[in-house]
């Protein structure tokens, strides 16, 4: 499916190369470093002959496909694997167990043999550092984001087939992958050969923006298709549960991948006027891509599983790998495992490494001995008995789920109550990648107090089989099993062999519950397992189990409550007594870890209430003729329903191009992101993907553990003695200035004497590997003398702790306005912070040239010029010695507009001192620790309004928590004050803002840059007005919207205002009024589930609040072959900026986009660039590109006139021969921006964008569970001279956010 296959005869005549072997010291042959694309060809010879592997570079060939193997060998892939195993079994073989340190696996079809593997080396590090396969990305390092997803294939001897699973490479120890085949995103397709359909569809469906998550999405979907070539839409959604996308959103991803599904890919009747998307007509088109153009999926064209891996059903030798700190032992027999556990009672057993890996990485826990029992038959089996189903302790949760699902389908419902409860918990248990490797036994033995399954296992009394040397015993899981935090009744020498999940009988009911911050792939706040058995032929409780997670340091059983309820009828009295008993038994201290104490206690009662109702309902259905039970009131029925996701459906409508627009003019066309194909194949290069340089070193930060303290001492002696460490840096090592900052110079590169937040950078360790640097950084000892910290806005107010004097905007007559008011409301609104969570963490590579202080800085930054200036300042050199280069960012959202310099300056200092290239990509926990996020706000308001709902006065005070430095917070507060009325005209308004100085990591730019905080506070007081007035919400909001010619509170005249039009269109297209009636009716009929409907406007000003930033430049080269190289001052971070700039150049020059290329953003091509921020980069850089291209066109005009029928290439050639310059710069400054803050006059914004959204939500009042049922949103842009084409786009996306 990826191009023509080489002939089989030609392949047989090739010489057979050596197997690729590597050792702890490096690669024996260096072709491994170029493994970046596709499978090489595999020759399948008769089973008794040699198996030959063609090791030509992966870019050149494609792997053998299943269809080709079938045609030659006469069987399908699973059949061949089973047959080879049978032949091997028939041939016998020695059973002698020996010890080996040789690890054998395959990567993209190539055999790899590693010796002396470090047990702490994980798969992602090996792929990226050793093999150079950088398509697999490191996002969170905890198995939570899915950007590191790869496919692992292995032969399952008991099942006699090959299984394919998606896993998180960041958690998978390389040692655990013996005799497996690993497929990365590079192994399924490339732009050099042919894209796999999975790669093509996510790219063409606009499902890739920054692209950092895209390889993981691709591999999750690819694995699903290898197992289910015709998946359902539900299976597609489930397989993406473990993959996060921070910028694109899931709609285009699901839209692209649902084309693989058996169901239709249409909107489901969610179009305008509820018509199907395929029936839409007119100027606005819903088609962003044409599914019929996609490559078909042909399962027979997939690379085959390496036959060598199916030749033996189990490892013959005990694998032993000894690293610097950890020994990994993989025994082959149960007897050997038990002997090892006796010898090493504190050793941890690891199957999926989903818990131990996190403990070692994030909790700094060291386990010197790890035992890997994954291949022991006694721990890998499934057995059906008369009492239940027994699972080996090493069985994965995915396997458990599939077996239980099959049993639930084939057995009577009353037999499978516990099975269905387990399946309900597994629906929301982590992501698919974790479930594929996490062992059911590991889930039990980890003894997590918030385990999703343990409460259910305890409530249902699952039986555990335990073994130690010479003994075996069966233990029932009950309230005594968990003896303390992360402790169980299992002795250190014992090994959990199996767990039996029992059948249920008639009159026995079981349910499981979980509440988390979000429904999918999140840890529980509280969960529960509940089971009741009734006396035969009655509703009298005979046996009961109530067990909870999240209510203490262990899984908690409500033993006293259960005992008191035995013998009672299942009725309202039992419910009342049970709730009272649970309140007393499940007490939580106000200071309990995890917080939310009241909510957690409420959840424990809500779960019991839901269980009571569901059992009452089932009793009425199952025993309606035997005895009477209280009927469940219709308005209570919704409390018994499990969380249900409706199939997503959506339609996106956008303004089409004019009919007479030529096809080569791509402006306005739905052009996919120019890098989307490279992002889908893993070829797109991010900062940490840059090839390793000779003598390159790695850096790790040493940060403060105190919020405010004097540094008493720094002891780096132990760290400097550790393996691989080169040096330790502090403030005294800075050759230039330790003072740094953005708006003001109020920060330091390294803390000097005092730390002002947790995460304040104190020093840095430089070492030969990333692991060595990180370990040594943890060994640096810092002592402090604590000082009083200021943390919250309230703390800052009480201490009068502010960075700058108050900011103030006032318009109209405040006192007179309140006199006109019929009523006045007052209140306040608290807004918390928010993490940026860009998928790519901050990364910098500094490369010193060794001449004149020159240095190249490769950085994931939105502000290359600011990075250049501050690095030069730290090094004590002019800015012209520093070049900052940016290829692309894996997301930014404002978090890389200024805070990247924290890392860039430190790495540059390290490179200067060591005279070596230095690299640092922050781990997710360190990134979140040191960088800050969205500014928390406090808004206090006093608002006067009339009986009609017209607001006549508002007096607002805003407090912004800036953190320990000013950074951009004063500008953020300015923007919040500009947007403090949202889209509403308030004739008399005053806003005063305070920038609070606290001991938090400095908060910074974030999407909206203060606008969302100002608008959210505005909508809070607007809601208060609506509630007080008793008028319809949509009526009051519509009444107060801006109109043409209005003057804003910052004295700008409103022109080309279309917020009213957007409002009216959204009301109409969303059927707001009819839905309002439907929502009210639903709420009357349902007691425990409620629906809400809102329609909200927004108005956002476009320009930098600091006027001097509103400038941009571009550089355009035309080469003699007619190709164009374009450079501008903006950075590409997923928003498609480079794509837009190419569209502009294409339109102006009149050439196809294929002839234009953007390489990178760099300070040596376009100097003094403004940060890529403020939603203004497309406008400013686009105009600069346009000006540069127009200059070149003017130079080409004489040659076009002389040869009007000539081609572009001819005109360019003639210009060159005529000695005309084919390089031009363009410079643009946004005109008429002249706001004077002190006098509150002038024009701060170039124009405004408008948006209106209507959303309907549903909330479970018992648990807080919620989902978005429908969303309709429309957007418009005010027409300005620089935007000659008015836009009023409307997007309807119903049921997309559930």
Mean pLDDT of 1163-1181: 97
pLDDT tens digit string along 225-246? 999 999 999 999 999 999 999 9
The confidence band for 20, taking pLDDT boundaries of 50, 70 and 90, is: very low
Mean pLDDT of 103-112: 96
Question: Where are the strands (E) in 768-916, listed by range?
Answer: 781-786, 807-811, 823-831, 843-848, 855-859, 882-886
Given a cut of 50, is residue 875 above it in pLDDT?
yes
Alpha-carbon gap, residue 1030 to 825, rounded angstroms: 13
The confidence band for 629, taking pLDDT boundaries of 50, 70 and 90, is: confident
% of the chain with per-residue pLDDT over 70:
89
- Report phi then psi at 657, rounded to 5: -80, 155
162 contacts 77 by C-beta, under 8 angstroms: yes
Mean pLDDT of 610-626: 92
The set of residues, in sequence order, having a beta carbon less than 8 Å from that of 589 and lying 6+ positions away, is 597
pLDDT tens digit string along 36-77? 333 333 322 222 222 233 333 333 333 444 433 333 333 333
> What are the counts of helices (DSSP H) followed by strands (DSSP E) for the chain?
34, 53
pLDDT for 15: 37
pLDDT tens digit string along 1221-1244? 999 999 999 999 999 999 999 999
CA angle 137, 141, 144 (to 5 degrees): 95
The confidence band for 662, taking pLDDT boundaries of 50, 70 and 90, is: confident
The confidence band for 267, taking pLDDT boundaries of 50, 70 and 90, is: low
- Find the helix packing angle between 1033-1040 and 1059-1069, rounded to 10°: 160
- Give me Rg for the CA atoms of the chain: 32
Mean pLDDT of 380-396: 97
Given a cut of 60, is residue 251 above it in pLDDT?
yes
95 contacts 171 by C-beta, under 8 angstroms: no
Mean pLDDT of 327-349: 97
pLDDT tens digit string along 161-209? 899 999 999 999 999 999 999 999 999 999 999 999 999 999 999 999 9
Per the structure block, which two tokens stand in for 1031?
A: 């008028």
The confidence band for 1294, taking pLDDT boundaries of 50, 70 and 90, is: very low
Alpha-carbon gap, residue 588 to 595, rounded angstroms: 10
CA angle 469, 474, 477 (to 5 degrees): 125
pLDDT for 659: 84
Given a cut of 80, is residue 285 above it in pLDDT?
no
Picking from 140, 24, 122, 35, the residue whose alpha carbon sits closest to that of residue 921 is 140
% of the chain with per-residue pLDDT over 90:
82
Given a cut of 70, is residue 1158 above it in pLDDT?
yes
pLDDT for 312: 60
The confidence band for 10, taking pLDDT boundaries of 50, 70 and 90, is: very low
Provide the mean pLDDT of the chain.
Answer: 89
Exposed, middle or buried: residue 850 (CB in 10 Å: 0-12, 13-18, 19+)? Answer: exposed
Exposed, middle or buried: residue 591 (CB in 10 Å: 0-12, 13-18, 19+)? Answer: exposed
Q: For every residue of 103-162, which 3-state class applies, written as one string?
A: EEEEECCEEEEEECCCCCCEHHHHHHHHCCCCCCCCCCCCCCCCCCEEEEEEEECCCCEE
Upper half-sphere CA count for residue 469 (Cβ side, 13 Å): 12
Per the structure block, which two tokens stand in for 33?
A: 């470093």
Alpha-carbon gap, residue 1060 to 1271, rounded angstroms: 19
pLDDT for 1086: 96
Given a cut of 50, is residue 1291 above it in pLDDT?
no
What's the distance, CA 472 to chain centroid?
Answer: 44
pLDDT for 992: 98
pLDDT tens digit string along 881-897? 999 999 999 999 999 99
Question: Where are the strands (E) in 929-1025, listed by range?
Answer: 937-945, 951-963, 989-997
Q: Are strands 937-945 and 823-831 parallel, antiparallel or unpaired?
A: antiparallel
Reading phi first (left if > 0) and then psi (alpha if -120 to 50, else beta), residue 590 is in alpha
Mean pLDDT of 1154-1174: 97
The confidence band for 158, taking pLDDT boundaries of 50, 70 and 90, is: confident
Lowest-confidence pick of 87-101, 580-594, 597-611: 87-101
The label of the residue with tokens 């997710």 reads 924
pLDDT for 1050: 97
Mean pLDDT of 771-790: 98
Picking from 1059, 923, 845, 704, the residue whose alpha carbon sits closest to that of residue 125 is 923
pLDDT for 83: 38
Given a cut of 70, is residue 721 above it in pLDDT?
yes
Given a cut of 70, is residue 827 above it in pLDDT?
yes
pLDDT tens digit string along 1063-1110? 999 999 999 999 999 999 999 999 999 999 999 999 999 999 999 999
1278 contacts 1293 by C-beta, under 8 angstroms: no
Given a cut of 90, is residue 562 above it in pLDDT?
yes
pLDDT for 44: 27
- Find the helix packing angle between 1011-1029 and 1033-1040, rounded to 10°: 120
Choice between 317 and 720, residue whose per-residue pLDDT is larger? 720
pLDDT for 156: 86
Question: Where are the strands (E) in 216-366, listed by range?
Answer: 284-285, 317-322, 327-330, 348-349
């Amino acid at each position: 499916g990826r191009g023509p296959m080489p002939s089989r005869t030609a392949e047989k005549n090739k010489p057979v190369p050596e197997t690729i072997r590597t050792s702890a010291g490096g690669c024996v042959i260096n072709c491994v470093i170029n493994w970046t694309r596709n499978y090489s060809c595999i020759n399948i010879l008769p089973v008794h002959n040699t198996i030959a592997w063609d090791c030509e570079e992966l870019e050149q060939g494609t792997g053998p496909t299943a269809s080709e193997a079938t045609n030659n060998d006469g069987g399908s892939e699973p059949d061949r694997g089973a047959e080879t195993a049978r032949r091997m079994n028939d041939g016998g073989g020695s059973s002698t167990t020996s010890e080996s340190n040789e690890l054998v696996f395959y990567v993209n079809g190539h055999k790899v043999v590693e010796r002396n593997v470090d047990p702490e080396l994980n798969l992602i590090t090996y792929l990226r550092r050793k093999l150079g396969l950088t398509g697999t990305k490191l996002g969170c390092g905890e198995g939570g984001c899915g950007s590191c997803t790869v496919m692992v294939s292995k032969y399952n001897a008991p099942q006699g087939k090959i299984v394919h699973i998606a896993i998180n490479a960041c958690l998978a120890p390389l040692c655990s992958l013996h005799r497996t085949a690993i497929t990365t995103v590079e192994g399924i397709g490339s732009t050099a050969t042919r894209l796999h359909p999975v790669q093509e569809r996510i790219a063409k469906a606009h499902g890739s923006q920054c692209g950092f998550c895209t390889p993981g999405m691709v591999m999750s979907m690819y694995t699903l298709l290898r197992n289910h070539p015709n998946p359902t839409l539900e299976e597609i959604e489930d397989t993406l549960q473990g993959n996060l996308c921070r910028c694109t959103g899931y709609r285009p991803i699901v839209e692209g991948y649902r084309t693989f599904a058996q169901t239709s890919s249409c909107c489901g009747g969610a179009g305008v006027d509820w018509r199907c998307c395929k029936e839409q007509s007119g100027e606005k088109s819903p088609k962003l891509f044409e599914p019929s153009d996609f490559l078909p999926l042909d399962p027979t064209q997939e690379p085959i599983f390496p036959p060598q891996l199916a030749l033996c059903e189990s490892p013959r030798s005990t694998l032993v790998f000894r690293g610097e700190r950890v020994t990994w032992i993989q025994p082959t027999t149960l007897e050997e495992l038990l002997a090892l556990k006796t010898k090493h009672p504190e050793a941890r057993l690891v199957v999926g490494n989903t818990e131990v890996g996190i403990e070692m990485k994030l909790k700094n826990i060291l386990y010197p001995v790890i035992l890997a029992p994954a291949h022991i038959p006694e721990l890998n089996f499934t057995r059906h008995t008369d009492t239940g189903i027994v699972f080996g302790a090493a069985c994965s949760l995915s396997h458990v789920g599939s077996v239980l699902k099959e049993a639930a389908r084939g057995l009577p419902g009353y037999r499978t109550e516990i099975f269905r409860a387990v399946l309900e918990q597994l629906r929301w248990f982590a992501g698919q990648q974790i479930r594929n490797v996490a062992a059911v036994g590991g889930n039990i033995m980890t003894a997590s107090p918030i385990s999703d399954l343990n409460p259910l296992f305890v409530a249902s009394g699952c039986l555990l089989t335990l073994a130690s040397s010479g003994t075996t015993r069966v233990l029932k899981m009950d309230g005594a099993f968990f003896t303390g935090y992360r402790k169980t009744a299992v002795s250190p020498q014992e090994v959990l062999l199996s767990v039996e999940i029992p059948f249920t009988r008639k009159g026995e009911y079981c349910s499981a519950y979980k509440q988390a911050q979000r429904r999918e792939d999140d840890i529980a706040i509280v969960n529960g397992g509940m089971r009741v058995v009734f006396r035969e032929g009655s509703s009298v409780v005979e046996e009961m189990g109530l067990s909870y997670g999240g209510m203490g340091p262990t899984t908690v059983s409500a033993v006293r409550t259960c005992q008191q309820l035995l013998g009672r009828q299942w009725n309202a009295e039992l419910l009342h007594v049970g709730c009272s008993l649970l309140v007393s038994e499940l007490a939580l201290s106000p200071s309990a870890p995890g917080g939310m104490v009241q909510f957690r206690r409420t959840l424990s009662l809500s779960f019991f209430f839901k269980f009571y109702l569901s059992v009452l309902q089932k009793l009425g259905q199952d025993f309606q003729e035997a005895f009477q039970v209280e009927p469940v009131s219709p308005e209570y029925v919704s409390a018994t329903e499990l969380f249900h996701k409706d199939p997503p459906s959506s339609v996106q409508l956008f303004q089409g191009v004019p009919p007479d627009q030529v096809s080569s003019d791509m402006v306005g066309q739905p052009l996919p992101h120019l890098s989307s194909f490279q992002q889908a194949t893993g070829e797109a290069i991010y900062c940490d993907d840059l090839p390793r340089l000779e003598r390159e070193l790695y850096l790790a930060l040493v940060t403060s553990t105190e919020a405010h303290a004097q540094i008493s001492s720094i002891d780096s002696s132990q760290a400097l003695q550790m393996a691989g460490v080169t040096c330790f840096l502090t403030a005294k090592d800075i050759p230039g200035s330790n003072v740094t900052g953005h708006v003001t110079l109020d920060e330091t590169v390294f803390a000097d004497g005092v730390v002002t937040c947790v995460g304040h950078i104190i020093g840095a360790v430089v070492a030969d590997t990333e692991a060595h640097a990180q370990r040594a950084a943890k060994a640096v000892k810092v002592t402090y003398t604590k000082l009083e910290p200021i943390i919250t806005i309230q703390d800052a107010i009480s201490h009068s702790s502010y960075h700058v004097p108050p900011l103030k905007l006032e318009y109209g007559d405040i006192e007179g306005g309140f006199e006109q008011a019929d009523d006045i409301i007052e209140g306040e609104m608290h807004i918390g912070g928010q993490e940026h969570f860009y998928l790519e963490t901050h990364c910098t590579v500094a490369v010193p040239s060794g001449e004149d202080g020159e240095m190249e800085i490769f950085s994931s930054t939105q502000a290359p010029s600011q990075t250049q200036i501050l690095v030069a300042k730290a090094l004590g050199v002019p800015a012209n010695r520093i070049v900052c280069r940016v290829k692309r960012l894996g997301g930014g959202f404002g978090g890389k507009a200024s805070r990247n310099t924290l890392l860039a300056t430190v790495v540059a200092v390290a490179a200067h001192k060591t005279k070596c290239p230095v690299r640092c990509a922050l781990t997710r926990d360190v990134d979140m620790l040191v960088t800050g996020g969205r500014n928390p706000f406090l808004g206090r308001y006093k608002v006067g309004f009339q009986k009609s709902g017209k607001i006549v006065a508002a007096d607002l005070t805003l407090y912004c928590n800036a953190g320990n430095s000013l950074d951009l917070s004063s500008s953020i507060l300015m923007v919040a004050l500009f947007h403090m009325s949202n889209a509403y005209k308030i004739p008399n308004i005053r806003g005063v803002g305070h920038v609070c100085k606290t001991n938090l990591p400095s908060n910074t730019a974030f999407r909206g840059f203060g606008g969302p905080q100002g608008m959210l506070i505005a909508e809070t007081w607007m809601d208060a007005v609506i509630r007080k007035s008793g008028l319809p919400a949509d009526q009051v909001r519509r009444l107060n919207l801006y109109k043409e010619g209005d003057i804003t509170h910052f004295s700008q005249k409103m022109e080309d205002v279309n917020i009213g039009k957007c409002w009216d269109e959204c009301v109409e297209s969303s059927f707001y009024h009819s839905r309002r009636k439907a929502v009210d009716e639903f709420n009357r009929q349902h007691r425990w589930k409620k629906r809400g409907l809102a329609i909200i406007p927004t108005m956002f000003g476009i320009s930098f609040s600091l006027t001097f930033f509103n400038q941009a430049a571009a550089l355009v080269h035309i080469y003699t072959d007619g190709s164009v190289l374009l450079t501008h001052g903006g950075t590409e971070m997923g928003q498609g900026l480079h794509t837009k700039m190419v569209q502009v150049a294409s339109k102006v020059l009149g050439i196809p986009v294929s002839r234009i290329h953007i390489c990178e953003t760099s300070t040596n091509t376009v100097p003094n660039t403004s940060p890529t921020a403020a939603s203004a980069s497309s406008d400013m850089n686009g105009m600069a590109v346009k000006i540069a291209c127009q200059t070149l066109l003017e130079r080409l005009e004489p040659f076009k006139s002389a040869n009007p029928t000539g081609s572009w290439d001819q005109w360019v050639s003639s210009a060159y021969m005529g000695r005309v310059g084919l390089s031009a710069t363009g410079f643009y400054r946004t005109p008429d921006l002249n706001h004077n803050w002190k006098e509150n006059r002038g024009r701060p914004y170039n124009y405004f964008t408008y948006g209106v959204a209507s959303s309907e939500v549903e909330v479970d009042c018992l648990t807080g569970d919620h989902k978005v049922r429908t969303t309709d949103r429309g957007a418009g842009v005010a027409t300005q001279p620089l935007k000659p084409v008015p836009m009023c786009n409307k997007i309807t996306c119903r049921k997309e956010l559930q």
